[in-house]
């Protein structure tokens, strides 16, 4: 069985992630993270005497189907005086065999908009795709058995000329991927969400695009061959792998850097015998899935009856106006026109991020965001009422 752990070190080890951190130079900012509290954005971790550990009830990501407990401590955003594009980290931790500690970093790029999470590694800082003045850090802890423990986290934000190699595209990166139905009702996702019947979310095989519970910062648009689409948040990690951000270019892909951008490792293993036909855990790959769909997304949003090839657009990789679906809980109908009597051509899950192509005047609707006769076109021939979408700025007329 092949396993990869970021920090496979013995007990009582002081670890460094990113560049060594001497005294901050001009334009650099240093700080020590507060590890003393856990709040609603955290999942599967507990803190005692300033040390962070996995909670006894830390979930194993349902979609990964691997017996590895996972937890996240998401720290409060940090605002700096001048733009930065890199963060180095120094970690003091105890990491038993079979456990891992990782430091992820992201930057704010607009109202509720963030870059993808990037890992600060022992040999390199986290480099963001653009300079920002607000950064956020999270600790990711995993373990097969005994939990790791983190007692200190020191951070340094600065500017580097090194490029992340990630360029935002207007519509977002989009690939044809094999989708499977997740099911697993009653299970717990990587972000702590308990799966309910006909749920609406997706799983991707990397935590880089994992949204916190009850948010849709990282969402996808999934479209089936029948023309239906659903916009849904990423709430779980899997299928098969947990370190396969296949949508990213090879230069920044976490693992499997020799695969072409847009090709999941599971697909390469299944179709081409890549990695001996196995996933990162050494399991024989039984299908080429690069995304798992919750039952509601699978059955109601896309009207699928079996696993199928779909086109997935990773919403956070796009640019331009965007907003978030806000309903009382049920998904929002996506219509073929700017009226509630137009045919339903898909669904947009509560919390999901949607990219707005343009706006039109249509039927007046009252929803969570008030009353409006504006409708947003979020794909060709697909519209949602502004009354249920928050955060959109700068949308132009169609």
Each residue's pLDDT tens digit, 321-338: 999 999 999 999 999 999
pLDDT band with cut points at 50, 70 and 90 for residue 167 = low
Q: Which domain covers residue 351, as residue numbers?
A: 322-390
Exposed e or buried b for every residue in 231-249, given b needs 16+ CB within 10 A? Answer: bbbbbbbbbbbbbbbbbbb
Shared domain check, 264 and 134: no
pLDDT digits (tens, 9 = 90+) for 98-121: 999 999 999 999 888 999 999 998
Average pLDDT over the chain, rounded to an integer: 91
Shared domain check, 138 and 187: no
Q: What are phi and psi of 118, to 5 degrees?
A: -125, 135
| 1 found inside a domain | no
Shared domain check, 328 and 311: no
pLDDT band with cut points at 50, 70 and 90 for residue 394 = very high
Percent with pLDDT over 90 in the chain: 82
- Residue 51: enclosing H or E segment and its boundaries? strand 51-54
Name the token pair of 55: 């909670």
| 395 found inside a domain | no
pLDDT band with cut points at 50, 70 and 90 for residue 244 = very high
- How far is 16 from 231, CA to CA, in rounded Å? 38
* Residues 31, 152 contacting (CB under 8 angstroms): no
Shared domain check, 22 and 144: yes
What is the predicted pLDDT for the residue at 25?
58
| 2 found inside a domain | no
What is the predicted pLDDT for the residue at 40?
81
Q: What is the CATH number of the domain that holds 238?
A: 2.40.40.10
pLDDT band with cut points at 50, 70 and 90 for residue 64 = confident
- How far is 127 from 18, CA to CA, in rounded Å? 10
* 219-223 vs 229-237, strand pairing mode: antiparallel
pLDDT digits (tens, 9 = 90+) for 148-157: 999 999 999 9
Q: Rounded mean pLDDT of 161-188?
A: 86
| 119 found inside a domain | yes
* Sign, CA torsion 20/23/29/34: positive
Q: What is the CATH number of the domain that holds 146?
A: 2.60.120
* 344-348 vs 370-379, strand pairing mode: unpaired
What is the predicted pLDDT for the residue at 26?
58
Shared domain check, 203 and 219: yes
Shared domain check, 330 and 275: no
Shared domain check, 340 and 305: no
DSSP H stretches of helix in the chain: 265-272, 295
Structural domain ending residue among the three candidates 105, 126, 158: 158
Structural domain ending residue among the three candidates 158, 187, 220: 158
**Number of domains present in the structure of the chain:** 3
| 3 found inside a domain | no
Shared domain check, 233 and 113: no
Shared domain check, 306 and 244: yes
- How far is 181 from 230, CA to CA, in rounded Å? 14
Structural domain ending residue among the three candidates 254, 283, 317: 317
């Amino acid at each position: 069985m092949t396993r990869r752990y970021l920090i496979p070190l013995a007990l009582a080890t002081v670890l460094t992630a990113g560049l060594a951190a001497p005294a901050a130079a001009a334009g650099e900012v240093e700080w020590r993270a507060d590890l003393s509290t856990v709040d609603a954005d955290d999942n599967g971790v507990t803190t005692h005497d300033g040390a962070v550990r996995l909670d006894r009830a830390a979930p194993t990501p349902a979609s990964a189907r691997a017996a590895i407990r996972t937890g996240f401590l998401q720290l409060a955003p940090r605002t700096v005086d001048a733009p930065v594009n890199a963060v180095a980290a120094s970690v003091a931790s105890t990491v038993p065999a079979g456990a891992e500690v990782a430091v992820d970093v992201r930057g704010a790029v607009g109202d509720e908009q963030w870059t993808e999470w990037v890992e600060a590694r022992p040999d390199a800082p986290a480099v963001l795709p653009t300079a920002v003045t607000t950064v956020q850090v999270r600790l990711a802890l995993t373990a097969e058995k005994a939990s790791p423990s983190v007692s200190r986290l020191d951070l340094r934000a600065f500017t580097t000329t090194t490029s992340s190699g990630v360029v935002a595209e207007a519509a977002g990166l989009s690939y044809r991927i094999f989708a499977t139905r997740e099911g697993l009702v009653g299970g717990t996702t990587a972000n702590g969400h308990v799966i309910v019947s006909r749920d609406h979310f997706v799983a991707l095989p990397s935590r880089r695009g994992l949204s916190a519970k009850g948010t849709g910062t990282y969402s996808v648009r999934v479209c089936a061959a029948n023309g239906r689409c659903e916009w849904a948040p990423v709430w779980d990690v899997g299928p098969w792998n947990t370190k396969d951000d296949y949508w990213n270019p090879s230069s920044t892909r976490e693992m499997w850097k020799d695969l072409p951008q847009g090709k999941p490792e599971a697909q390469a293993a299944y179709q081409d015998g890549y990695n001996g036909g196995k996933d990162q855990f050494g399991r024989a790959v039984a299908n080429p899935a690069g995304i798992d769909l919750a039952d509601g997304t699978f059955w109601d949003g896309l009207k699928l009856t079996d696993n199928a090839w779909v086109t997935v657009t990773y919403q956070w990789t796009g640019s331009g106006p965007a907003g978030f679906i806000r309903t009382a809980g049920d998904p929002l109908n996506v219509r073929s026109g700017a009226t509630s009597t137009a045919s339903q051509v898909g669904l947009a899950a509560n919390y999901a991020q949607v990219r707005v192509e343009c706006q039109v005047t249509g039927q007046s609707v009252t929803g969570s965001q008030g009353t409006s006769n504006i409708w947003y076109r979020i794909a060709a021939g697909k519209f949602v009422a502004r009354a249920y979408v928050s955060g959109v700025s700068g949308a132009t007329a169609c």
